[in-house]
């Protein structure tokens, strides 16, 4: 089931609280001890400057903690 879920939401648009497009969901970061998703990894829109983002870039992807996700629907909506 988790594999099916991840395939369904990968490549969804990630938007901020104002609905501005940040990029697309590329992957997840998982805590190997608990199996919990700890961050979403976003392929940032090329026009955006990663140094202006409040989250780190890890291996070319913006790493956003799951606590920052407001909801997941047709798009991934962030809290800020």
**CATH code for the domain of 22:** 2.30.30.240
- The domain tally of the chain equals 1
pTM for the whole thing?
A: 0.88
Measured distance CA(13)–CA(32) in Å, rounded? 26
For residue 9, pLDDT over 80 is answered with yes
Q: Which pLDDT band, with edges at 50, 70 and 90, does 29 fall under?
A: very high
For residue 1, pLDDT over 50 is answered with no
Domain range for 60: 2-78
Tell me the mean pLDDT in the region 17-33.
95
For residue 62, pLDDT over 70 is answered with yes
Cα-Cα-Cα-Cα dihedral sign, residues 53, 35, 77, 46: positive
Quote the pLDDT of residue 46: 95
Quote the pLDDT of residue 27: 94
């Amino acid at each position: 089931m988790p594999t099916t879920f991840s395939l369904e939401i990968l490549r969804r648009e990630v938007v901020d609280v104002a609905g501005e497009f940040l990029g697309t969901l590329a992957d997840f970061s998982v805590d190997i001890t608990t199996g919990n998703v700890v961050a979403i990894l976003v392929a940032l829109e090329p026009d955006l400057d990663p140094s202006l983002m409040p989250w780190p870039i890890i291996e070319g992807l913006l790493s956003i903690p799951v606590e920052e996700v407001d909801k997941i629907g047709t798009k991934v909506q962030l809290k800020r």
